[in-house]
Amino acid sequence: MSDFAVYEAFRPRDYLQSYYGELKSEAEGLLRFLVESFAALPGGVSVLEFGGGPTLIGMIPAARRAGKIHFCDYVKENRQVIDHWLVGDESDFDWSPFIARCLELEGVRSPGREEIAARAERIRDAVTRVTTCDIYQSPPVAAKDQFDVIVTNYCLDAVTNDKDEWYAHIRNVKSLLRPGGLFIMSSLEEGKYSDFGETRYPNVYLVEEDIPAALRACGFDEPSIRVARADADHGDREYRGVLFGSATTAI
């Protein structure tokens, strides 16, 4: 028997409170990495947000360029939180500070209510599907076409302790990316597990060099590989920081 919780027991509100209760170094680092990634893309791209959990964080910067976004997550309660937000019910969580910070990173000075509302509407317009997914299936999500961009944050590393399995997960998600498409992922740095509420989930133990090594080994184009990191938000986190990596596939 594993000591870890099953994802079916995932509590979206505990998770949001623990990891997104404050906008500190981890969310700042992720937003910055995503803003830089999307800045270089043309408008109208198709985006897959894989394992988005109960969060909007990946879609906020993505919506600047996305023609359409397919959001997927394994846990039904997470998808329900997203569905609520998409129909205008923002009572589960207030994403406006994250939208404001994203807009600032994009160069908007002191974004106000209207600009924040406009980005929220942009996300609502862009999301065309909210579906389940399972990284242990192939393909891991049912989709008619491949995507221009795939964003997957703290998901592929958060379902296993095994590095070979993590590699297999990257390859599996990559099968959904069109030739020349952009893959973006985030992972915990030096974390063997993550805790929140009453639950503990496994994590594959990674150091910064593991990110470019994995992208290379999984067949991404070497010169396109980009890596960044940020410190953990709190001294009592069970990991040292967070790692971000992106790369494109060969055309």
Ligand X SMILES: C[S@@+](CC[C@H](N)C(=O)[O-])C[C@H]1O[C@@H](n2cnc3c(N)ncnc32)[C@H](O)[C@@H]1O
Closest distance to ligand X from the beta carbon of 109 (Å): 27
Which of 163, 160, 165, 153 has its CA nearest to residue 244? Answer: 153
Nearest Cα residue to 47 out of 22, 66, 34, 75: 66
C-beta of 238: minimal distance to ligand X in Å?
A: 13
Contacts of 6 (CB under 8 A, 6+ apart): none
Looking at the Cβ atoms of 105 and 108, the one nearer to ligand X is: 105
At closest approach, how far in Å is the CB of 222 from ligand X? 26
Nearest distance in Å: CB 168, ligand X: 12
* Phi, psi dihedral angles at 78 (to 5 degrees): -65, -45
Q: How far is the CB of 186 from ligand X (least distance, A)?
A: 7
CA distance 141 to 70: 10
Residue whose C-beta lies closest to ligand X:
53
Crossing angle of helices 96-105/25-39, nearest 10°?
50
Task: Report the distance separating Cα 251 and Cα 210, nearest Å.
Answer: 24
CB of 22 to ligand X, least distance (A): 14
For residues 160 and 249, which CB has a smaller minimum distance to ligand X in the complex?
160
Q: Which is nearer to ligand X, 19 or 33 (CB)?
A: 19
* Binding positions for ligand X, rule: CB under 6 A: 7, 10, 19, 51-53, 55, 57, 73-75, 78, 133-136, 153-155, 158-159
In this complex, which beta carbon is closest to ligand X, that of residue 4 or of residue 7?
7
Q: How far apart are CA 41 and CA 157, in angstroms?
A: 26
Please, which residue, 82 or 214, has the CB nearer to ligand X?
82
Classified as helix, coil or strand, 199 is strand
To 10 degrees, what angle do helices 210-217 and 163-174 make?
A: 50
Q: Which is nearer to ligand X, 75 or 116 (CB)?
A: 75
